[in-house]
Amino acid sequence: MKMFPAVRMRRLRKLKLIRETRLSTDDLILPLFIDENVEGENKKPIDSMPGQFRFSIEGAVKEVSEAHSLGIKSVLLFGIPARKDEKGSEAFNNEGVIQRAVRMVKKEVEDVVIITDLCLCEYISHGHCGLVENGEVLNDPTLEVLGKIAVSQAEAGSDIVAPSGMMDGMVKAIREKLDDEGFTDTAIMSYAVKYNSALYGPFREAADSGYKFGDRSSYQMAFSNAREALREVELDVKEGADIVMVKPAIFYLDIISKVRAKFDVPLAAYNVSGEYAMITAASEKGYLNREEVMMEGLTAIKRAGADLIITYFAKEWHPSR
Ligand code: PBG
Ligand code: ZN
């Protein structure tokens, strides 16, 4: 192999031509919060995530079409119901906030991919991702409810349902229920590898999904584990997941890269609320440059092997970058 002085790595350094990783707006998915308590065209700022809002249904339609005009054609919708109960009934109410929002976005905005978060925590009084008995989050009884939520979201027009509760067997249960009801074309993006991360802190204010007791360590993965992530992905793929997700993203690039190397399914990574909040707060203080750090972070996620990135920065990414 030739070396210096024939070889000069600096020769091509500045050329965009040789970039190995390119990010496009097609890779990005914008998460949005839709709050049944917000009315008209209003939106309510989320204190823990400056620049992000809880929208009314009409406000969300406007936001989706604005994102669309910036090239962001996929959105991940979270619903915040006016009423919560012990069963999370609003999650599968056909007139619930998410179902109405999906119908309205589908009607008003063309050529948009609607992904709906499929979980109980925003809808259930204690805030856990499953049914609870004697302080325990129950697995199997929760599966049935997840199937019902999936069908109601598919009926409303969701293109992809995204189960985020880390219940064992959730993908299988949802796929069977969707197929039974004739929704064979509704896809499943599974939060296959979701770590029990402190980086979700700001989201819990955003989605009003904080839990009233305990924590999520009986269902979300310990951040010390990597091999377990591969088993989680394998199981979800076998159960019928069309897209698998790793979450969070920037602290977990090793996991993204391992999953990419072993599986050929489309891979998404969730650049979560805490990642957004850290960059936002530090840039507000003048410690770092928001745009530059965002660009570096999102490119790193793609370089690690993610095909899709769910990010609150989606609207700030410009194709010219
Ligand atoms: C709940 C859910 C969470 C996120 C997405 N869905 C939080 C949690 O598990 O407590 C986190 C998203 C983010 O932090 O941006 N099922
Ligand atoms: Zn949840």
Structure tokens at 122: 């925003």
Q: Phi and psi at residue 154, in whole multiples of 5°? A: -65, -40
Which of 199, 251, 272 for a ligand 1 pocket mutation test, highest count of atoms within 8 Å of Cβ? 272
- All domains in the chain, ordered by first residue: 23-316 (3.20.20.70)
Q: Verify whether ligand 1 is closer than 6 Å to residue 209 (CB atom).
A: yes
In angstroms, the CA 125 to CA 81 distance is 11
Catalytic residue among 43, 172, 247, 302: 247
Q: Verify whether ligand 1 is closer than 6 Å to residue 280 (CB atom).
A: no
Q: Verify whether ligand 1 is closer than 6 Å to residue 245 (CB atom).
A: no
Number of the ligand 1 atom closest to the C-alpha atom of 194:
9
Tell me the CA–centroid distance for residue 165 and ligand 2, in Å: 5
Q: Which residue has the tokens 């409810």?
A: 145
Q: In the annotation, is 302 catalytic?
A: no
Number of the ligand 1 atom closest to the C-alpha atom of 202:
14
**pLDDT at residue 27, rounded to an integer:** 97
**pLDDT at residue 23, rounded to an integer:** 95
Q: Verify whether ligand 1 is closer than 6 Å to residue 200 (CB atom).
A: yes
Q: Verify whether ligand 1 is closer than 6 Å to residue 116 (CB atom).
A: no
Tell me the CA–centroid distance for residue 280 and ligand 2, in Å: 25
Number of the ligand 1 atom closest to the C-alpha atom of 271:
15
Strands of the chain, DSSP E: 28-35, 43-45, 53-55, 74-80, 113-118, 132-133, 136-137, 160-163, 187-194, 243-247, 267-271, 308-311
**Residue nearest ligand 1's atom 9 by CA:** 200
Residues 6+ apart with CB under 8 A from 204: 127, 210
**Residue nearest ligand 1's atom 5 by CA:** 164
Tell me the CA–centroid distance for residue 119 and ligand 1, in Å: 10
Q: What is the mean pLDDT of each run of 10 residues along the chain (321 residues)?
A: 95 93 96 95 92 97 97 98 96 98 97 98 95 96 98 98 98 98 98 97 87 92 98 98 98 98 98 98 98 97 98 90 66
**pLDDT at residue 126, rounded to an integer:** 95
Measure the CA dihedral 144/145/148/152, to 10°: -160
**189 within 8 A of 118, measured Cβ to Cβ:** no
Q: Verify whether ligand 1 is closer than 6 Å to residue 272 (CB atom).
A: yes
Q: What is the DSSP string of 17-66?
A: GG-S----GGGEEEEEEEETTS-TT-EEE-TTSTT-EEEPHHHHHHHHHH
Tell me the CA–centroid distance for residue 138 and ligand 2, in Å: 13
Structure tokens at 127: 């805030």
**pLDDT at residue 321, rounded to an integer:** 66
In angstroms, the CA 102 to CA 154 distance is 9
Q: In the annotation, is 238 catalytic?
A: no
Tell me the CA–centroid distance for residue 210 and ligand 1, in Å: 10
Q: Are strands 132-133 and 187-194 parallel, antiparallel or unpaired?
A: unpaired
